[in-house]
Amino acid sequence: MSRDTQDGPGAGSEVDGQATDGNLPGGTNVEGEAPIVEETVETEEATITDDAELERTLGLTGGLAIGIGTMIGAGIFVFPGLAAGEAGPAAAGSFAIGAVVALLVALPTSELATAMPKSGGGYYFISRGLGTLAGTVVGLSLWFGLVFATAFYLVGFGYYAVDTLAEIGVTVGSGLVIPIALLFGAGFTVLNVTGTENAAKLQNGVVALLLSILTVFLLYGSLDALGVVGTASAPERFMPFGPVSVLTTAALVFTSYLGFAQVATVAGEMKQPGRNLPLAMVGSVVIVGVLYVVTVFVATSAFESARLAELGETAMVDVGRHYLGGAGALAIVFGGLLATMSSANASILSTSRAIYAVSRDALLPRGASRINLKYGTPHVALGLAGGPVLVLVATGEVEVLAEVASFLHLILYGLMCVALLMLRRDEPEWYDPDFRVPGYPVVPILGALSSFALIGFMQRISQVIGLAVMLASAAWYFYYARDVSLRGAL
Residues of this chain that interact with other proteins (CB under 8 A) are 1-2, 6, 8, 36, 45-47, 49, 51-55, 57, 118-119, 192-193, 195-200, 266, 268-269, 349, 352-353, 356, 360, 369-371, 375-378, 382
Q: Which is nearer to other proteins, 255 or 351 (CB)?
A: 351
Q: Are 202 and 53 in contact (CB under 8 A)?
A: no
> Least Å distance between CB 311 and other proteins?
36
What is the Rg, in whole angstroms, of the alpha carbon atoms belonging to the chain? 22
Q: Is 114 left (phi over 0), alpha (psi -120 to 50) or beta?
A: alpha
Q: State the pairing for strand pair 46-48/14-15.
A: unpaired
Q: Give the contacts of 296 (CB within 8 A, at least 6 positions apart).
A: 80, 83, 84, 89, 91, 92, 95
The least CB distance from residue 3 to other proteins, in Å, is 9
Residue 189 identity (one-letter amino acid): T
CB of 129 to other proteins, least distance (A): 20
Q: Which is nearer to other proteins, 268 or 488 (CB)?
A: 268
280/212 Cα distance (integer angstroms): 19
Closer residue to other proteins in complex, CB, 314/351: 351
Nearer to other proteins, 375 or 479 (CB): 375
Residue closer to other proteins by CB (options 193, 324) is 193
Task: From residue 250, give the alpha-carbon distance in Å to each of 83, 102, 137.
Answer: 8, 11, 25
383 closest CA partner among 352, 346, 419: 352
Cross-strand pairs, 55: 46
Residue 281's H or E segment, with its range, is: helix 273-302
Question: Within 10 Å of residue 188's Cβ, how many Cβ atoms?
Answer: 24
Of the candidates 278, 280, 281, 286, which has an alpha carbon nearest to the alpha carbon of residue 437? 278
Q: How far is the CB of 374 from other proteins (least distance, A)?
A: 11
What residues contact 231, with CB distance under 8 A and at least 6 apart? Answer: none
Q: Which of 163, 361 has the CB closer to other proteins?
A: 361
Q: What stretches of 282-343 adopt beta strand conformation (E)?
A: none
Of 359 and 406, nearer to other proteins (C-beta) is 359
201 CB-near residues (< 8 Å, 6+ apart): none
Distance of closest approach, residue 370 Cβ to other proteins, in angstroms:
7
Tell me the torsion sign for CA atoms 112, 115, 119, 125: negative
From the list 380, 416, 399, 372, the residue with the least C-alpha distance to 465 is: 399
CB closer to other proteins out of 1 and 234: 1
CA angle centred on 363, ends 50 and 49, rounded to 5°: 10
Q: Which is nearer to other proteins, 197 or 426 (CB)?
A: 197
Nearest-approach distance from CB 387 to other proteins, in angstroms: 16
The alpha helices in 426-489, defined as continuous H runs, are: 442-456, 460-480
C-beta closer to other proteins: residue 85 or 139 = 139
Q: 9 or 169, CB closer to other proteins? A: 9
Nearer to other proteins, 173 or 376 (CB): 376
What length is written for the chain?
490
The angle at the Cα of 15, spanning 12 to 19, to the nearest 5 degrees, equals 160
Question: b/e map of 403-420 (b: 16 or more CB within 10 Å)?
Answer: bbbbbbbbbbbbbbbbbb
Residues facing residue 42 across a β-bridge: 14, 47
Which residues are paired to 148 by β-bridges?
none
Instruction: Give the residue with the Cβ less far from other proteins, 120 or 336.
Output: 120
Report whether 136 contacts 477 (CB < 8 A): yes
**Residue 441 half-sphere exposure, CB side, CA atoms within 13 Å?**
12
Contact by Cβ (8 Å): 27, 441: no
Least gap, CB of 55 to other proteins (angstroms): 4
